[in-house]
């Protein structure tokens, strides 16, 4: 059901110093910022040989990242994203097991222009899971 890890997301209160750390200190290639109003975040991707790291900054007062950063002001790992072939079939299979899909359960378009869903962390070892259709 699960494919490879697409990215690991880290919530930050300010993208600029986070980008400088990854780009200037760690020597990584970092994308330009992309605002995702439907998700309440601005993101950049740190490109690695085997995956990506997504840095998330809150966008707007209703951003779900704000609540995370209130609990964890220094920032930290927010979610892990796995690739799936058929997001609707996976969603239906997970729901049948009792797993909770966040929001209205319908995929939204994510930062890569592909359908994504989020799964409740209480159902997955305390970790927010993002599924992205490839």
Q: Which residues are catalytic?
A: 130
Distance CA 53, CA 48 (A): 8
**Quick one: which of 77, 21, 72, 68 has its CA closest to 46?**
21
Distance CA 120, CA 132 (A): 15
Helix (H, G, I), strand (E, B) or coil at 93: helix
**Quick one: which of 60, 52, 51, 31 has its CA closest to 43?**
31
**Quick one: which of 134, 36, 125, 130 has its CA closest to 78?**
130
Sign of the Cα pseudo-torsion (70, 17, 40, 10, in order): negative
């Amino acid at each position: 059901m699960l494919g490879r890890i697409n990215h690991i997301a880290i919530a930050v209160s300010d993208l600029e110093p986070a980008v400088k750390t990854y780009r200037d200190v760690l020597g990584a290639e970092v994308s330009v910022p992309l605002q995702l109003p439907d998700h309440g975040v601005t993101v950049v991707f740190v490109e690695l040989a085997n995956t990506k790291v997504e840095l998330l900054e809150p966008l707007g007062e209703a951003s779900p990242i704000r609540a995370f950063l209130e609990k964890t002001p220094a920032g930290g790992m927010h979610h892990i994203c796995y690739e799936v072939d058929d997001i609707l079939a996976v969603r239906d299979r997970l729901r049948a097991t009792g797993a909770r899909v966040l929001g209205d359960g319908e995929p939204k378009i994510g930062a890569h222009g592909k359908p994504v869903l989020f799964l409740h962390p209480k159902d997955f070892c305390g970790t927010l899971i993002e599924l992205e259709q490839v």
